[in-house]
Copies of this chain bind each other. A is one copy, B any other.
Amino acid sequence: MLAALERELAALNTDVGIVQTQYATWDEPLRLKSGVELAPVTLAYETYGTLNSQRDNAVLVMHALSGDAHAAGRHQPHDRKPGWWDTLIGPGRALDTTRYFVICVNVIGGCRGSTGPSSINPATDQPYGARFPVVTIPDMVAAQMRLLDRLGIETLQAAIGGSMGGMQVLELAINYPDRVRQAVLLATAAKHSAQQIAFNHIGRQAIMHDPLWRDGDYYGHQPPAAGLATARMVGHMTYLSEERLQWRFGRKLQSAEELSYAHQSEFAVESYLDYQGNSFVDRFDPNSYLYITKALDYFDASDGFASLVAAFEQAQARFLVASFSSDWLYPPQNSEDIVAALRVAGRDVDYVAMNSPLGHDAFLLDHERLTPLISEFLDTTEESGTPS
Interface of A is mostly: helix
Expressed in whole angstroms, the minimum distance between the Cβ of A249 and any Cβ of chain B is: 4
**Complex Cα spacing A262 to B35, Å:** 12
Query: Does A270 lie within 8 Å of B198, measured CB to CB?
Result: yes
Is A56 at the interface (CB under 8 A from chain B)?
A: no
Q: Which of A167-175, A188-196, A339-347 contacts B (4 or more CB under 8 A)?
A: A188-196
The 8 Å CB contact of A245, one of B194, B234, B242, is B194
Nearest chain B CB to A163's CB is how many angstroms away? 17
A199, closest chain B residue (CB): B237
Q: Say whether B133 contacts A261, CB under 8 Å.
A: yes
- The answer to whether B201 and A270 have CB atoms under 8 Å apart is yes
- Does A30 touch B at the CB level, under 8 Å? no
> Given the interface contacts A197-B269, A198-B245, A267-B197, does A251 sit within 8 Å of B205 by beta carbon?
no
Q: Which residues of B contact A251 (CB under 8 A)?
A: 191-194, 197, 300
CB distance from A308 to the nearest CB of B (A): 13
Contacts of A206 in B (CB 8 A): 206, 230
The answer on a CB contact under 8 Å between B193 and A209 is: no
Q: A267: which of B199, B201, B205, B240 is its contact (CB, 8 Å)?
A: B201
Q: Restricting to A233-261, which residues have a CB under 8 Å from any CB of B?
A: 233-234, 237, 240, 242, 245-246, 248-251, 259, 261
Q: Is the CB of B197 within 8 A of A226?
A: no
Given A194-B251, A197-B267, A267-B297, are A202 and B261 neighbors across the interface (CB < 8 Å)?
A: no
Shortest CB-to-CB span from A204 to chain B, Å, is 8
Measured CB to CB, the residues of A under 8 A from B are 33-34, 36, 130, 133-134, 191-195, 197-199, 201-202, 205-206, 208-211, 226-227, 229-230, 233-234, 237, 240, 242, 245-246, 248-251, 259, 261-263, 265, 267-270, 273-274, 277, 290, 294, 297-298, 300, 328
What are 29 A-B contacts with C-beta separation under 8 Å?
A33-B261, A36-B261, A133-B261, A134-B263, A191-B251, A193-B250, A193-B251, A194-B246, A195-B242, A197-B251, A197-B270, A198-B233, A198-B269, A198-B270, A201-B233, A201-B267, A201-B270, A201-B273, A202-B230, A202-B233, A202-B234, A205-B277, A209-B210, A210-B226, A211-B211, A263-B290, A263-B294, A267-B297, A328-B328
In the complex, given contacts A130-B263, A201-B269, what are 11 additional A-B residue pairs having Cβ atoms less than 8 angstroms apart? Answer: A193-B242, A193-B251, A195-B237, A195-B245, A197-B251, A199-B237, A202-B234, A202-B273, A205-B229, A205-B230, A208-B263
